[in-house]
Amino acid sequence: MTNWIENYLWVIPAMPLLVSLMILGLARKRRAPAAILAIIGQVAALVLAVAALITTLHAPGFRAFHNFTWLTFGDQALRLGWLLDPLTASMLVMITFVGLWIFVFSTGYMAEDRNFSRFFAYLSFFSAAMLGVVISNSLLLLFISWELVGLASYLLIGFWIERPSAAAAAKKAFVTTRIGDLAFFLGILWLYGSSGSLLLYDNGNGCLDKTTLVTLGSAVTSIALLIFCGAIGKSGQFPLHVWLPDAMEGPTPVSALIHAATMVAAGVFLVARMYPLFSYHAVSGVTPALTAVVWIGVITALMAALIAIAQFDIKRILAYSTVSQLGLMMVSLGVGGVVAGMIHLLAHGFFKALLFLGAGSLIHACHHEQDIRKMRGLRRAMPITFLTYSVGMLSLSGVPLLFSGAWTKEAILDATAHWPESSLPHYLMLFGVVLTAFYMTRQVIYVFFGKRAGAAEHAHENRANMTVPLIVLAVCTIGLSAILTPAWPWLNDYLAGKTPHWDSSELFQPLLLVSLALVAGGIGAGVLIYRGATDVDPLQRSQPTLFAFLANRMWLDEFYGWTVIGLARAASRISDWMDRHVWDGLVRLVGGLGQLMGLVSRQMDERGINAGVDEGVVGARGFAGLMSRRHSGQVQSYLGAIAVGMVALLIVYVWLA
């Protein structure tokens, strides 16, 4: 059993991929088969993922890998492989489980859409690519899957092809992540060049094995930073975060799957996976690469949380919330809390997907209205959505004891408190906790409390295929806390490769009280300010300039428009001018030369050669005429000529004798 799953780990991504192709090929017109196929594929992947998880439980610090040669050229070979360890297994289970419930939700949400089957094909394709990212043992295979994930994201964000805004958002997402991916690829190339291997673990010869890391020398920091650029793009860190909020143009299940639970997690996953590279030669846990990770994470987390306070689109609030949480995860990884970051990633996957699906449920019920000021007082009309959404919100805000988000956030704050470089991230992240609780409270009050009006008037709870996933995810969010508490940190120890043990005295930490106070403060502030709020946001009324600054996303998109995009446009205009006038002119010049030569050649031919030949012919004719006129036709003159000739010959003969 052990060896079986290790050798066949590739089947896990292969199945959704196969399903995707099958749907595209066979089930384009038929909706039920497409959905059923997709769900079966996901279930199969889930079963195998659970089997993989069970395999990793055999021993603490389990790691099994299987490498094979893909291409050989000369005496070098490109090798790929897959890897099974706690990190992989936990990600596999999270992705397949959350994905499965999102698939089920989509059957309800996309029921009226014409392109139902195409949606499921793309979802399966995305699932396959994401699973490929987490199992790969080779940076090359990881990069291939990474790019496929980007492609799937593009296809899904721009799913409603008739909408120009969706197409623009898909393009923006792809191009922005591409910038990060370029740096990532450069890092991969550099790593390959210095170390000669792209495999991560290879019995001592892989990139992350100690012996190879030594050979890299001082290039480790640069390579790590380049690889981090890929994570910046994919996980929406500052400065490449601009695509994530626009990506909300896609259908809500897409936002739930890709931009909350999985794809954006890929960046965090990458840093966690490459952590030995990042932390090489660490001086008490601090390296330049990791410091960069921390500060970018801090900036991202704070900036996004501030912007989220001033947004009115329900999905945008959640999008900025995701960006902020990802920043928090990066901070955690940077300060050395790899395990803390990963468990927050896993828990975040569950409750963020829950929140997005809840938002989807609300949007669907309000006939695709997305402004929170227009969806009010829904808590009695949609009780299941209200309850599950509240569970997600409380988990995200970090309300302790029952909700997994709290425990994971605790772990992160604990890690930041012990960073030797600076304690600024710790305090800033504490501030971030307050902000998170504040904006989530604001959102919940707007949507669920107050008087019903407008689009919310006729809203009612959705059918089972949309509420059941919400319930399941809510239960998981609460249930995960069982294995996350400091009393029995099963998940933490599992990921760290340690044996978990039960110790009830660990349950109450001093930090717990601090964060409890902050969360209560945040929620309380939110309730105070927004209780009885109307269409005009109270904060907007009291601080209009600050609010406008945040509502306009700190004018960053516009800034990029003036600078980077403006530069690109100017360059393209210059290129166009060059092309049209310079290169085109040259080509036309050459063409003109050709024509000129043709002209000259023709004149030479007509005036020179033809004339010459004509003259020659005239001359020959003249001479011939001359000669022919000598013939008189008189026989006697011919005879006379013969006689004269004979006489001449005679004279010559006589003289010669």
Partner 1 sequence: MSLTLQLILTVSSILFAIGLLAALSRRHAIFILIGIEIMLAAANLNFVAFWRFSPEPRDPTGIMFAIFAIAIAAAEAAVGLALVIAIYRHYRTTDVDRLNQLKG
Q: With binding defined as CB under 8 A, does residue 634 bind partner 1?
A: yes
**Of 591 and 640, CB closest to partner 1:** 640
Selected binder of partner 1 within 636, 653, 655, 657 (CB under 8 A): 636
Backbone angles phi, psi at 126, to 5 degrees: -60, -45
**Of 424 and 643, CB closest to partner 1:** 643
**Which one of the spans 241-249, 371-379, 483-491, 624-632 is the region binding partner 1 (CB under 8 A)?**
624-632
How many CB atoms within 10 Å of residue 47? 13
**Of 71 and 654, CB closest to partner 1:** 654
Selected binder of partner 1 within 25, 74, 204, 633 (CB under 8 A): 633
By the 8 A CB rule, do 376 and 456 touch?
yes
**Which one of the spans 301-309, 423-431, 514-522, 634-642 is the region binding partner 1 (CB under 8 A)?**
634-642
Between CA 16 and CA 37 the distance in angstroms is 9
The position carrying tokens 């059941």 is: 468
**Of 513 and 641, CB closest to partner 1:** 641
**Which one of the spans 275-283, 372-380, 400-408, 636-644 is the region binding partner 1 (CB under 8 A)?**
636-644
Q: With binding defined as CB under 8 A, does residue 649 bind partner 1?
A: no
By the 8 A CB rule, do 393 and 444 touch?
yes
Selected binder of partner 1 within 630, 654, 655, 656 (CB under 8 A): 630
Ranges of beta strands (E only) in 228-341 are none
By the 8 A CB rule, do 411 and 429 touch?
no
Q: With binding defined as CB under 8 A, does residue 635 bind partner 1?
A: yes
**Of 564 and 646, CB closest to partner 1:** 646
Selected binder of partner 1 within 368, 380, 460, 629 (CB under 8 A): 629
**Of 204 and 625, CB closest to partner 1:** 625
Q: Least distance from C-beta 624 to partner 1, angstroms?
A: 9
Residues 465-494: x/- map of binding to partner 1 (CB under 8 A)? ------------------------------
**Of 218 and 636, CB closest to partner 1:** 636
Q: Least distance from C-beta 642 to partner 1, angstroms?
A: 10
Between CA 165 and CA 43 the distance in angstroms is 34
Selected binder of partner 1 within 401, 643, 648, 651 (CB under 8 A): 643
Q: Least distance from C-beta 626 to partner 1, angstroms?
A: 10
**Total H helices, total E strands in the chain:** 29, 2
Record the tokens describing residue 288, joined without a space. Answer: 């330049």
Q: Least distance from C-beta 616 to partner 1, angstroms?
A: 22
Q: Which of 462, 475, 487 is nearest to 354 (CA)?
A: 475
Amino acid at 304: A
**Of 164 and 640, CB closest to partner 1:** 640
Q: Least distance from C-beta 637 to partner 1, angstroms?
A: 9
Q: With binding defined as CB under 8 A, does residue 657 bind partner 1?
A: no
Selected binder of partner 1 within 627, 654, 656, 657 (CB under 8 A): 627
Q: Least distance from C-beta 625 to partner 1, angstroms?
A: 9
**Of 283 and 626, CB closest to partner 1:** 626
By the 8 A CB rule, do 391 and 477 touch?
yes
**Of 26 and 639, CB closest to partner 1:** 639
Taken in order 642, 645, 647, 650, is the CA torsion positive or negative?
A: negative
Q: Least distance from C-beta 650 to partner 1, angstroms?
A: 10
Backbone angles phi, psi at 635, to 5 degrees: -65, -35
Between CA 625 and CA 526 the distance in angstroms is 122
Between CA 279 and CA 302 the distance in angstroms is 25
The position carrying tokens 């930490």 is: 509
Longest dimension (CA), the chain: 155
For the chain, state the CA radius of gyration.
Answer: 38
Selected binder of partner 1 within 632, 653, 654, 657 (CB under 8 A): 632
38: β partners: none
**Of 25 and 633, CB closest to partner 1:** 633
Q: Least distance from C-beta 636 to partner 1, angstroms?
A: 6
**Which one of the spans 450-458, 460-468, 556-564, 626-634 is the region binding partner 1 (CB under 8 A)?**
626-634
Q: With binding defined as CB under 8 A, does residue 639 bind partner 1?
A: yes
**Which one of the spans 164-172, 371-379, 453-461, 638-646 is the region binding partner 1 (CB under 8 A)?**
638-646
Residues 187-206: x/- map of binding to partner 1 (CB under 8 A)? --------------------
Between CA 372 and CA 433 the distance in angstroms is 22
Between CA 16 and CA 22 the distance in angstroms is 10
Number of residues that bind partner 1 (CB under 8 A): 13
Selected binder of partner 1 within 368, 380, 451, 631 (CB under 8 A): 631
**Which one of the spans 40-48, 162-170, 256-264, 635-643 is the region binding partner 1 (CB under 8 A)?**
635-643
Among positions 70-89, residues that touch partner 1 (CB under 8 A) are none
How many CB atoms within 10 Å of residue 338? 21
How many CB atoms within 10 Å of residue 29? 9
Selected binder of partner 1 within 532, 640, 649, 652 (CB under 8 A): 640
- What DSSP letter does each residue of 45-90 carry, written as one string? HHHHHHHHHHHHTSSTT--EEEEEEEEEETTEEEEEEEEESHHHHH
Between CA 353 and CA 98 the distance in angstroms is 7
Selected binder of partner 1 within 76, 203, 545, 628 (CB under 8 A): 628
**How does DSSP classify residue 400?**
T
How many CB atoms within 10 Å of residue 498? 13
Burial environment of residue 372 by CB neighbours within 10 A (0 to 12, 13 to 18, 19 or more) = buried
**Which one of the spans 176-184, 299-307, 371-379, 639-647 is the region binding partner 1 (CB under 8 A)?**
639-647
The position carrying tokens 């954006």 is: 264
**Of 203 and 632, CB closest to partner 1:** 632
**Which one of the spans 141-149, 333-341, 574-582, 631-639 is the region binding partner 1 (CB under 8 A)?**
631-639
Between CA 399 and CA 444 the distance in angstroms is 15
Between CA 468 and CA 256 the distance in angstroms is 15
Instruction: Please give the residue ranges that form the binding site for partner 1 (CB under 8 A).
Output: 627-636, 639-640, 643
